[in-house]
Amino acid sequence: MRGALTVYRKEISDYFSSKVFIILLALIYIAGLGFAYLSIQAIKSAPLSSDQSLLIKVFIDELFFLKLFTVGEIRALMTFNFVRFFGAFIPLIGILFGFNSINSERNSGNISRIISQPIYRDSLINGKFLAGITTLSLMISSIVFIVMGIGLRTIGVPPTSEEILRIFIFIFICIIYGTFWMSLSMLFSVLMKNVAASILTAIPIWLFLTFFWPFIAPQITDQIIPVEAGATLATQLSNISLSVDLLRISPFILFYEATAAIVDPTLGHFALRVTESDLSKLIARPLSLSQSFLQVWPQMVVLIMLAFICFAISYIVFMKQEIRST
């Protein structure tokens, strides 16, 4: 474990001094602050138009503070808000953190020097993995906390304890999501000798699952279960449920469902499984924290499993790979 700790410390210091890290951090801060500004504007302007004072709005809206992360601009039929932005941007951070972790060590010739030191071979991959998660966590939580701080100053409404808990769960989901993408690109860095090949494999997969799959999945569904005019309700329902199942192949959808139920539980999300007793509450008021958590549990477990599986494969392949001198 000592070896992994040394690798971990070195990797952390590498991250914090690397240009990629600084650029990503700058981008995520700029974008995060931009979205915070948008939502603050939207929140501030809302009471004026609807003749309600901010105070009344707070009482009606139980999860007012979370609006910081979910209110945004609607442009071209897409909502742009903080959560959406995270859903799109976190994978990129994960990929950039992982894509060269092992093959660059191999290409630079460092690997044989490092693993001939008195450490176990897995120390290298473990230390790198943990350092990646740590850096990812710091990036994500720092921007969320900054937005919270700004929100507190500008709106002047403190978050309730429930909201704080929800935000922590949100951060946790973001970290899991980033970890999945990092372990996926780490897997490519183990499998592929070429650094360019591993990033050029990871990025199209990210693009496909995030941006194209949500359009393709319904098309596939319509081919399998066509819904024509006058179709029965049963057909329509089975069409929708198949479409949802297909959509969930994409980790982006899993992330979206999970975060939506946590930070934006008032919306009727297409994939929520609502029990009878919840149905009445759903319309009037947001899901309770425990209910929200129950809703996202499967998504979270799947994301954790995906991250774990990718890391496990990387680990096994890395341990079995022959270390050749050339």
Partner 1 sequence: MNNNNNEPIIVAENLTKQYGGTTVVNNLNLKIKKGEIFGLLGPNGAGKSTIILMMLGLTEPSSGSIRVAGFNSTKEPIKVKRVTGYLPERLGFYEDLTARQNLKYTAELNSIAQKDIESKIGEALEIVGLEKNKNQPVNTFSKGMKKRLGIADVLIKDPQLAILDEPTEGLDIKIANQILDNIQILNNAKNITFMISSHQLNLIQKICTSIGIMSKGKLIGEGKIDNMGRGLFSEGRYIIEIELSNVNPEIIQKVRTIKSVVNVESNDNILEITSDEDIRSQLSRVILENNMLITKMNIKDSSLEEIYLKYFKEE
Among 50, 116, 223, 232, binds partner 1 (CB under 8 A): 116
Among 51, 74, 75, 118, binds partner 1 (CB under 8 A): 118
Distance of closest approach, residue 10 Cβ to partner 1, in angstroms: 6
Check binding of 321 to partner 1 (CB under 8 A). no
Check binding of 323 to partner 1 (CB under 8 A). yes
Report, in this order, helix, strand and coil percent for the chain, each rounded to 5: 75, 0, 20
Listed ranges 71-79, 140-148, 276-284, 317-325: which one lies at the site for partner 1 (CB under 8 A) = 317-325
Distance of closest approach, residue 29 Cβ to partner 1, in angstroms: 24
Distance of closest approach, residue 9 Cβ to partner 1, in angstroms: 8
Among 22, 34, 109, 231, binds partner 1 (CB under 8 A): 109
Check binding of 193 to partner 1 (CB under 8 A). no
Q: Please give the C-alpha separations between residue 137 and each of 27, 68, 168, 311, in angstroms, as whole numbers.
A: 16, 20, 11, 17
Check binding of 108 to partner 1 (CB under 8 A). yes
Instruction: Give 98 or 178: the residue with its C-beta nearer to partner 1.
Output: 98
Among 66, 119, 195, 271, binds partner 1 (CB under 8 A): 119
Number of residues that bind partner 1 (CB under 8 A): 26
Task: Find out whether 206 and 95 touch, Cβ atoms under 8 Å.
Answer: yes
Q: Which of residues 8-37 bind partner 1 (CB under 8 A)?
A: 9-10, 14, 17
Q: Which two tokens stand for residue 51?
A: 């003749």
Q: How far is the C-alpha of 148 from the C-alpha of 285, rounded, in Å?
A: 23
> Which residues fall within 8 angstroms of residue 132, CB to CB, at 6 or more apart?
11, 15, 94, 97, 98, 101, 179, 182, 186
Listed ranges 102-110, 185-193, 235-243, 245-253: which one lies at the site for partner 1 (CB under 8 A) = 102-110
Distance of closest approach, residue 123 Cβ to partner 1, in angstroms: 8
**Cα-based torsion angle of the residue sequence 54, 55, 61, 62 in order, rounded to the nearest 10 degrees:** 140
Which DSSP string corresponds to 265-291? TTS--TT----HHHHHHHHHSPPPHHH
Listed ranges 4-12, 45-53, 71-79, 286-294: which one lies at the site for partner 1 (CB under 8 A) = 4-12
Q: How far is the C-alpha of 48 from the C-alpha of 35, rounded, in Å?
A: 21
Q: How far is the C-alpha of 257 from the C-alpha of 123, rounded, in Å?
A: 35
For residue 216, with 0-12 CB atoms within 10 Å meaning exposed, 13-18 middle and 19 or more buried, which class applies? middle
Residues that bind partner 1 (CB under 8 A): 2-3, 6-7, 9-10, 14, 17, 108-120, 322-326
